[in-house]
Amino acid sequence: HTSIVVHKDEFFFGSGGISSCPPGGTLLGPPDSVVDVGSTEVTEEIFLEYLSSLGESLFRGEAYNLFEHNCNTFSNEVAQFLTGRKIPSYITDLPSEVLST
């Protein structure tokens, strides 16, 4: 599971669409590890507008697919919007590695 913490909240994507909670507050509990992808100058207002548009298009709940369009896809997309950086490939490549075994 991956998520993005920004503006004092944690945002993630699953079969229910885009959700948020206090950092470390998902049903999965605190993260096993944290990867710093940088800081952002995107305001909270702009970010929330962006999330709303994603939730109505690419990241609707019914678009979720465990191996092809998942929380990693969402985290990577949002990280690029916020910082211009992707999340590490060892994370985004994991589903295809699992499928190839």
Q: 37 to each of 19, 27, 55, how far by Cα in Å?
A: 20, 23, 22
Note whether 62 and 18 are within 8 A (CB): no
Active site residues: 1, 71
**How large is the angle between the packed helices 71-83 and 44-56, nearest 10 degrees?**
140
C-alpha to C-alpha distance for 24 and 9, rounded to whole angstroms = 9
Tokens of 24: 């470390």
